[in-house]
Protein backbone atom coordinates (compact mmCIF):
# COMPACT_ATOMS: atom_id res chain seq x y z
CA UNK A 1 0.00 0.00 0.00
CA UNK A 2 0.88 3.65 -0.29
CA UNK A 3 1.41 3.95 3.46
CA UNK A 4 3.86 1.03 3.54
CA UNK A 5 5.98 2.41 0.75
CA UNK A 6 6.07 5.83 2.43
CA UNK A 7 7.15 4.14 5.64
CA UNK A 8 9.86 2.13 3.87
CA UNK A 9 11.14 5.30 2.25
CA UNK A 10 11.27 7.07 5.59
CA UNK A 11 13.13 4.19 7.25
CA UNK A 12 15.70 4.31 4.43
CA UNK A 13 16.13 8.07 4.87
CA UNK A 14 16.62 7.69 8.63
CA UNK A 15 19.33 5.07 8.16
CA UNK A 16 20.97 7.21 5.51
CA UNK A 17 21.15 10.13 7.98
CA UNK A 18 22.51 7.80 10.69
CA UNK A 19 25.19 6.43 8.39
CA UNK A 20 26.42 9.71 6.96
CA UNK A 21 29.63 11.21 8.30
CA UNK A 22 29.17 13.31 10.34
CA UNK A 23 25.74 12.00 11.31
CA UNK A 24 23.05 14.23 9.80
CA UNK A 25 21.36 15.28 13.04
CA UNK A 26 19.28 17.97 11.32
CA UNK A 27 17.75 15.31 9.04
CA UNK A 28 17.08 13.08 12.06
CA UNK A 29 15.28 15.98 13.75
CA UNK A 30 13.12 16.46 10.67
CA UNK A 31 12.26 12.75 10.60
CA UNK A 32 11.35 12.79 14.30
CA UNK A 33 9.04 15.75 13.77
CA UNK A 34 7.44 14.78 10.46
CA UNK A 35 4.45 12.45 10.08
CA UNK A 36 4.76 9.19 11.99
CA UNK A 37 7.87 10.26 13.88
CA UNK A 38 10.60 7.63 14.17
CA UNK A 39 8.25 4.71 13.41
CA UNK A 40 9.81 1.90 15.52
CA UNK A 41 11.48 1.43 18.90
CA UNK A 42 14.45 -0.14 17.15
CA UNK A 43 15.01 3.14 15.29
CA UNK A 44 14.39 5.18 18.46
CA UNK A 45 17.23 3.29 20.19
CA UNK A 46 19.55 4.63 17.50
CA UNK A 47 18.11 8.11 16.96
CA UNK A 48 17.12 9.33 20.43
CA UNK A 49 20.77 9.32 21.61
CA UNK A 50 21.72 11.40 18.55
CA UNK A 51 18.96 13.94 19.25
CA UNK A 52 20.32 14.32 22.78
CA UNK A 53 23.98 14.01 21.67
CA UNK A 54 24.62 11.08 23.99
CA UNK A 55 27.58 8.91 23.05
CA UNK A 56 26.41 5.29 23.13
CA UNK A 57 29.91 3.83 22.79
CA UNK A 58 30.96 4.26 26.39
CA UNK A 59 27.89 4.06 28.57
CA UNK A 60 28.82 3.86 32.25
CA UNK A 61 27.91 0.59 33.99
CA UNK A 62 24.89 0.85 36.26
CA UNK A 63 25.68 0.82 39.99
CA UNK A 64 24.20 -1.88 42.19
CA UNK A 65 20.78 -0.88 43.45
CA UNK A 66 21.52 -1.56 47.09
CA UNK A 67 24.14 1.20 47.49
CA UNK A 68 21.82 3.65 45.75
CA UNK A 69 18.87 2.95 48.01
CA UNK A 70 20.60 3.17 51.36
CA UNK A 71 20.32 6.62 52.90
CA UNK A 72 18.80 8.19 49.79
CA UNK A 73 16.40 10.97 50.76
CA UNK A 74 14.17 10.41 47.71
CA UNK A 75 13.99 6.63 47.90
CA UNK A 76 10.65 6.36 49.71
CA UNK A 77 8.87 8.84 47.43
CA UNK A 78 10.31 7.24 44.27
CA UNK A 79 9.26 3.81 45.53
CA UNK A 80 5.68 4.99 46.11
CA UNK A 81 5.43 6.61 42.70
CA UNK A 82 6.89 3.62 40.88
CA UNK A 83 4.55 1.22 42.69
CA UNK A 84 1.63 3.34 41.55
CA UNK A 85 2.83 3.28 37.94
CA UNK A 86 1.22 -0.04 36.98
CA UNK A 87 -0.77 1.39 34.12
CA UNK A 88 2.38 2.71 32.45
CA UNK A 89 3.42 -0.86 31.60
CA UNK A 90 1.94 -2.73 28.62
CA UNK A 91 -1.31 -4.49 29.59
CA UNK A 92 -0.79 -8.23 29.81
CA UNK A 93 2.90 -8.01 30.77
CA UNK A 94 3.72 -10.83 33.24
CA UNK A 95 3.96 -9.61 36.85
CA UNK A 96 7.55 -10.73 37.41
CA UNK A 97 8.72 -8.96 34.26
CA UNK A 98 6.94 -5.76 35.29
CA UNK A 99 8.33 -5.95 38.81
CA UNK A 100 11.84 -6.35 37.38
CA UNK A 101 11.32 -3.23 35.26
CA UNK A 102 9.99 -1.32 38.25
CA UNK A 103 13.20 -2.13 40.17
CA UNK A 104 15.25 -0.88 37.20
CA UNK A 105 13.11 2.25 37.09
CA UNK A 106 13.88 3.03 40.74
CA UNK A 107 17.60 2.50 40.15
CA UNK A 108 17.74 4.76 37.10
CA UNK A 109 16.01 7.59 38.93
CA UNK A 110 18.19 7.30 42.05
CA UNK A 111 21.35 7.03 39.92
CA UNK A 112 20.60 10.25 38.02
CA UNK A 113 19.73 12.11 41.23
CA UNK A 114 22.86 10.90 42.99
CA UNK A 115 25.13 12.00 40.15
CA UNK A 116 23.40 15.39 39.88
CA UNK A 117 22.73 16.70 43.39
CA UNK A 118 21.47 20.00 41.92
CA UNK A 119 18.41 18.13 40.53
CA UNK A 120 15.35 17.60 42.72
CA UNK A 121 12.94 14.73 42.20
CA UNK A 122 9.33 15.63 41.40
CA UNK A 123 6.22 13.47 41.19
CA UNK A 124 5.71 12.68 37.53
CA UNK A 125 9.41 12.37 36.73
CA UNK A 126 9.04 8.58 36.82
CA UNK A 127 6.44 8.85 34.03
CA UNK A 128 9.14 10.21 31.74
CA UNK A 129 11.79 7.74 32.87
CA UNK A 130 9.56 4.70 32.37
CA UNK A 131 8.96 5.73 28.75
CA UNK A 132 12.71 5.67 28.08
CA UNK A 133 13.15 2.42 30.01
CA UNK A 134 10.48 0.64 27.95
CA UNK A 135 11.86 1.89 24.64
CA UNK A 136 15.65 1.64 25.04
CA UNK A 137 16.40 -0.53 28.12
CA UNK A 138 18.04 0.45 31.39
CA UNK A 139 21.61 1.38 30.48
CA UNK A 140 20.80 3.62 27.57
CA UNK A 141 17.74 5.02 29.37
CA UNK A 142 20.00 6.10 32.24
CA UNK A 143 22.28 8.08 29.93
CA UNK A 144 19.40 9.67 27.99
CA UNK A 145 17.42 10.57 31.09
CA UNK A 146 20.47 12.14 32.69
CA UNK A 147 21.05 14.35 29.64
CA UNK A 148 17.36 15.22 29.45
CA UNK A 149 17.23 16.05 33.17
CA UNK A 150 20.08 18.52 32.91
CA UNK A 151 18.58 20.11 29.76
CA UNK A 152 14.91 19.89 28.72
CA UNK A 153 13.58 18.93 32.17
CA UNK A 154 15.94 21.11 34.14
CA UNK A 155 13.28 23.64 35.15
CA UNK A 156 10.99 21.02 36.65
CA UNK A 157 13.85 19.76 38.82
CA UNK A 158 14.51 22.98 40.72
CA UNK A 159 13.90 23.11 44.47
CA UNK A 160 10.89 25.39 43.84
CA UNK A 161 8.13 25.43 41.25
CA UNK A 162 9.01 28.93 40.04
CA UNK A 163 10.47 28.00 36.67
CA UNK A 164 7.76 25.42 36.01
CA UNK A 165 5.15 28.12 36.63
CA UNK A 166 7.08 30.43 34.36
CA UNK A 167 6.79 27.90 31.53
CA UNK A 168 3.06 27.41 32.22
CA UNK A 169 2.76 31.18 31.83
CA UNK A 170 3.36 30.76 28.10
CA UNK A 171 0.14 28.81 27.65
CA UNK A 172 -2.34 31.70 27.71
CA UNK A 173 -0.37 34.06 25.44
CA UNK A 174 -0.18 31.31 22.78
CA UNK A 175 -3.94 30.71 23.03
CA UNK A 176 -4.55 34.45 22.88
CA UNK A 177 -2.55 34.80 19.66
CA UNK A 178 -4.64 32.15 17.90
CA UNK A 179 -8.08 32.41 19.46
CA UNK A 180 -8.78 35.48 21.61
CA UNK A 181 -12.32 34.25 22.28
CA UNK A 182 -11.13 31.04 23.97
CA UNK A 183 -8.46 33.01 25.81
CA UNK A 184 -10.98 35.54 27.15
CA UNK A 185 -13.43 32.81 28.13
CA UNK A 186 -10.71 31.01 30.10
CA UNK A 187 -9.67 34.28 31.74
CA UNK A 188 -13.28 34.97 32.76
CA UNK A 189 -13.58 31.47 34.19
CA UNK A 190 -10.32 32.11 36.10
CA UNK A 191 -9.27 28.57 35.28
CA UNK A 192 -5.53 29.25 35.36
CA UNK A 193 -3.07 26.77 33.84
CA UNK A 194 -2.68 24.11 36.53
CA UNK A 195 -4.79 21.69 34.46
CA UNK A 196 -1.79 21.46 32.10
CA UNK A 197 0.82 20.89 34.81
CA UNK A 198 0.85 17.09 34.63
CA UNK A 199 0.89 17.26 30.82
CA UNK A 200 3.95 19.44 30.87
CA UNK A 201 6.07 17.75 33.55
CA UNK A 202 5.48 14.21 32.24
CA UNK A 203 5.55 15.16 28.55
CA UNK A 204 1.96 13.82 28.44
CA UNK A 205 3.19 10.37 29.53
CA UNK A 206 0.95 10.43 32.58
CA UNK A 207 -2.28 11.38 30.82
CA UNK A 208 -2.23 9.39 27.58
CA UNK A 209 -3.15 5.75 27.91
CA UNK A 210 -1.81 4.53 24.56
CA UNK A 211 1.96 4.06 24.68
CA UNK A 212 2.28 4.57 20.91
CA UNK A 213 1.00 8.11 21.22
CA UNK A 214 3.38 8.82 24.09
CA UNK A 215 6.50 7.74 22.18
CA UNK A 216 5.34 9.61 19.09
CA UNK A 217 5.21 12.79 21.17
CA UNK A 218 8.62 12.03 22.67
CA UNK A 219 10.07 11.82 19.15
CA UNK A 220 8.67 15.29 18.53
CA UNK A 221 9.74 16.85 21.83
CA UNK A 222 13.26 15.40 21.71
CA UNK A 223 13.79 16.99 18.31
CA UNK A 224 12.53 20.43 19.35
CA UNK A 225 13.00 23.37 21.67
CA UNK A 226 12.35 22.63 25.39
CA UNK A 227 9.19 24.78 25.29
CA UNK A 228 7.49 22.69 22.60
CA UNK A 229 5.38 20.71 25.13
CA UNK A 230 3.66 23.95 26.19
CA UNK A 231 2.85 24.74 22.54
CA UNK A 232 1.42 21.24 22.22
CA UNK A 233 -0.68 21.84 25.35
CA UNK A 234 -2.01 25.05 23.81
CA UNK A 235 -2.88 23.22 20.60
CA UNK A 236 -4.91 20.63 22.54
CA UNK A 237 -6.92 23.40 24.23
CA UNK A 238 -7.45 25.17 20.89
CA UNK A 239 -8.53 21.92 19.26
CA UNK A 240 -11.26 21.64 21.92
CA UNK A 241 -12.46 25.21 21.31
CA UNK A 242 -16.13 24.26 20.96
CA UNK A 243 -16.23 22.15 24.12
CA UNK A 244 -14.53 24.92 26.06
CA UNK A 245 -16.93 27.63 24.86
CA UNK A 246 -19.95 25.37 25.52
CA UNK A 247 -18.82 24.80 29.10
CA UNK A 248 -20.17 26.65 32.14
CA UNK A 249 -17.95 29.69 32.55
CA UNK A 250 -16.65 28.88 36.01
CA UNK A 251 -13.36 27.61 37.28
CA UNK A 252 -14.45 24.16 38.43
CA UNK A 253 -16.25 23.25 35.18
CA UNK A 254 -13.55 24.47 32.81
CA UNK A 255 -10.77 22.93 34.89
CA UNK A 256 -12.62 19.60 34.98
CA UNK A 257 -13.20 19.65 31.22
CA UNK A 258 -9.63 20.52 30.33
CA UNK A 259 -7.93 18.17 32.74
CA UNK A 260 -9.75 15.18 31.21
CA UNK A 261 -7.69 14.80 28.05
CA UNK A 262 -9.45 13.03 25.14
CA UNK A 263 -7.62 9.85 24.12
CA UNK A 264 -8.50 10.01 20.42
CA UNK A 265 -6.72 13.24 19.53
CA UNK A 266 -5.53 13.65 15.92
CA UNK A 267 -1.88 13.58 17.02
CA UNK A 268 -0.21 14.16 13.65
CA UNK A 269 -2.38 17.19 12.93
CA UNK A 270 -1.77 18.62 16.38
CA UNK A 271 1.99 18.05 16.15
CA UNK A 272 2.20 19.94 12.87
CA UNK A 273 0.01 22.72 14.31
CA UNK A 274 2.25 23.03 17.35
CA UNK A 275 5.23 23.30 14.98
CA UNK A 276 3.41 25.99 13.02
CA UNK A 277 2.59 28.01 16.13
CA UNK A 278 6.15 27.78 17.35
CA UNK A 279 7.35 29.22 14.06
CA UNK A 280 4.80 32.04 14.05
CA UNK A 281 4.93 32.97 17.72
CA UNK A 282 8.39 31.98 18.92
CA UNK A 283 9.00 32.15 22.66
CA UNK A 284 11.03 35.32 22.27
CA UNK A 285 7.91 37.11 20.99
CA UNK A 286 5.73 35.82 23.81
CA UNK A 287 8.29 36.31 26.52
CA UNK A 288 7.06 39.76 27.42
CA UNK A 289 3.55 38.53 27.98
CA UNK A 290 4.68 35.46 29.89
CA UNK A 291 5.92 36.88 33.19
CA UNK A 292 9.45 37.20 31.98
CA UNK A 293 11.38 37.87 35.13
CA UNK A 294 12.90 34.40 35.36
CA UNK A 295 13.72 33.64 31.76
CA UNK A 296 17.40 34.01 32.57
CA UNK A 297 17.41 30.89 34.63
CA UNK A 298 15.29 28.52 32.60
CA UNK A 299 16.58 25.51 30.71
CA UNK A 300 15.59 27.03 27.44
CA UNK A 301 18.36 29.58 27.90
CA UNK A 302 21.00 26.86 27.96
CA UNK A 303 19.44 25.10 25.01
CA UNK A 304 21.45 27.02 22.47
CA UNK A 305 24.83 25.60 23.53
CA UNK A 306 23.26 22.19 23.55
CA UNK A 307 21.80 22.73 20.11
CA UNK A 308 25.15 23.70 18.61
CA UNK A 309 26.83 20.66 20.09
CA UNK A 310 24.13 18.29 18.91
CA UNK A 311 24.21 19.55 15.35
CA UNK A 312 27.82 18.34 15.40
CA UNK A 313 29.04 20.90 12.98
CA UNK A 314 32.64 21.61 12.14
CA UNK A 315 34.09 24.33 14.43
CA UNK A 316 34.59 26.84 11.61
CA UNK A 317 30.95 26.71 10.59
CA UNK A 318 29.93 27.18 14.23
CA UNK A 319 32.06 30.32 14.42
CA UNK A 320 30.66 31.69 11.18
CA UNK A 321 27.16 30.92 12.37
CA UNK A 322 27.81 32.66 15.69
CA UNK A 323 28.84 35.80 13.91
CA UNK A 324 25.74 35.73 11.69
CA UNK A 325 23.48 34.96 14.65
CA UNK A 326 24.89 37.90 16.54
CA UNK A 327 24.17 40.32 13.72
CA UNK A 328 20.69 38.86 13.33
CA UNK A 329 20.15 39.04 17.08
CA UNK A 330 20.96 42.73 17.18
CA UNK A 331 18.59 43.31 14.26
CA UNK A 332 15.87 41.30 15.91
CA UNK A 333 16.24 43.08 19.23
CA UNK A 334 15.67 46.35 17.39
CA UNK A 335 12.67 45.05 15.51
CA UNK A 336 10.99 43.50 18.55
CA UNK A 337 11.25 46.73 20.48
CA UNK A 338 9.64 48.73 17.70
CA UNK A 339 7.18 46.22 16.27
CA UNK A 340 3.46 46.68 16.98
CA UNK A 341 1.45 43.53 17.45
CA UNK A 342 0.74 42.32 13.93
CA UNK A 343 -2.75 41.47 12.89
CA UNK A 344 -3.16 37.90 14.03
CA UNK A 345 -5.55 37.03 11.23
CA UNK A 346 -2.97 37.87 8.63
CA UNK A 347 -0.49 35.71 10.49
CA UNK A 348 -2.89 32.82 10.66
CA UNK A 349 -3.30 32.79 6.92
CA UNK A 350 0.14 31.23 6.93
CA UNK A 351 -1.12 28.35 9.10
CA UNK A 352 -0.61 24.98 7.56
CA UNK A 353 1.61 26.32 4.83
CA UNK A 354 4.75 25.90 6.87
CA UNK A 355 4.11 22.21 7.37
CA UNK A 356 3.03 21.67 3.81
CA UNK A 357 6.31 23.14 2.68
CA UNK A 358 8.22 20.99 5.13
CA UNK A 359 9.58 24.22 6.51
CA UNK A 360 8.15 23.84 9.98
CA UNK A 361 10.64 21.18 10.94
CA UNK A 362 13.54 23.32 9.81
CA UNK A 363 12.16 26.47 11.33
CA UNK A 364 11.46 24.78 14.65
CA UNK A 365 15.10 23.82 14.83
CA UNK A 366 16.22 27.22 13.65
CA UNK A 367 14.08 29.05 16.15
CA UNK A 368 15.37 26.72 18.84
CA UNK A 369 18.32 29.07 18.66
CA UNK A 370 16.09 32.04 19.39
CA UNK A 371 14.84 31.67 22.93
CA UNK A 372 15.22 35.38 23.65
CA UNK A 373 17.24 37.99 21.88
CA UNK A 374 19.37 38.80 24.87
CA UNK A 375 20.75 35.28 25.08
CA UNK A 376 21.97 35.55 21.58
CA UNK A 377 24.22 38.34 22.68
CA UNK A 378 25.20 36.65 25.92
CA UNK A 379 26.03 33.14 24.79
CA UNK A 380 27.87 34.14 21.63
CA UNK A 381 30.40 36.61 23.01
Give the separation between CA 72 and CA 70, rounded to whole angstroms.
Answer: 6
Whether the pLDDT of residue 64 is over 60: the answer is: yes
DSSP annotation string for 173-225: HHHHHH-HHHHHHHHHHT--SGGGHHHHHTTTTTT---HHHHHHHHHHHHTS-
Those residues whose C-beta lies under 8 Å from the C-beta of residue 234, and which sit 6 or more positions away, are: 170, 171, 174, 175, 178, 274, 277
Give the separation between CA 171 and CA 284, rounded to whole angstroms.
Answer: 14
361 and 220 Cβ atoms separated by less than 8 Å: no
The pLDDT assigned to 46 comes to: 97
The pLDDT assigned to 217 comes to: 97
The pLDDT assigned to 261 comes to: 92
The pLDDT assigned to 346 comes to: 38
Percent of the chain residues topping a pLDDT of 90: 61
Whether the pLDDT of residue 318 is over 60: the answer is: no
Those residues whose C-beta lies under 8 Å from the C-beta of residue 102, and which sit 6 or more positions away, are: 82, 83, 85
pLDDT (tens digit per residue) in 33-52: 999 999 999 999 999 999 99
Domain range 159-298, its CATH number among 1.10.40.50, 1.10.390.10, 1.10.150.110, 1.10.472.80: 1.10.472.80
The pLDDT assigned to 59 comes to: 86
Q: Who wins on pLDDT, 270 or 336?
A: 270
Q: pLDDT band at residue 66, thresholds of 50, 70 and 90? A: confident
Question: Can you give the length of the chain in residues?
Answer: 381
Q: Please, is 54 exposed, middle or buried when counting C-beta atoms within 10 Å of its C-beta (0-12, 13-18, 19+)?
A: middle
The pLDDT assigned to 322 comes to: 53
Instruction: Give me the torsion for CA of 256, 202, 361, 216, rounded to 10°.
Output: -90
Each residue of 267-303: b (16+ CB within 10 Å) or e?
beebbbbbbbbbbbbbbbbbbeebeeebbeebbbbbb
Any idea which architecture 1-152 has in CATH? Answer: Orthogonal Bundle (1.10)
Domain ranges (residues) in the chain? 1-152, 159-298
Give the H or E element holding residue 251: helix 251-259
pLDDT (tens digit per residue) in 242-290: 999 999 999 999 999 999 999 999 999 999 999 999 988 988 888 777 7
Instruction: Give me the torsion for CA of 347, 200, 11, 22, rounded to 10°.
Output: 90
DSSP annotation string for 97-151: HHHHHHHHHHHHHHHHHHH-TT----TTHHHHHHHHHHHH-HHHHHHHHHHHHHT
Q: Please, is 3 exposed, middle or buried when counting C-beta atoms within 10 Å of its C-beta (0-12, 13-18, 19+)?
A: exposed
164 and 200 Cβ atoms separated by less than 8 Å: yes
Whether the pLDDT of residue 107 is over 70: the answer is: yes
Amino acid sequence: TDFDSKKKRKVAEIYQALNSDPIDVAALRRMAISEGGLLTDEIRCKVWPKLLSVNTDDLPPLPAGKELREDNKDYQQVLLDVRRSLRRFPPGMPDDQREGLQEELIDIILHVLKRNPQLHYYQGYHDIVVTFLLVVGDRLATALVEKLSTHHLRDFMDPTMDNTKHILNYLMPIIDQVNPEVHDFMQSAEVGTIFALSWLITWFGHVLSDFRHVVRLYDFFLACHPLMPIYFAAVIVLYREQEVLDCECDMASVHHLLSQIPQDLPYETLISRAGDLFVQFPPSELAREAAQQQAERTAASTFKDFELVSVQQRPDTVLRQRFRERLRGEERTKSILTKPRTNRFVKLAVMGLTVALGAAALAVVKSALEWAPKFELQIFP
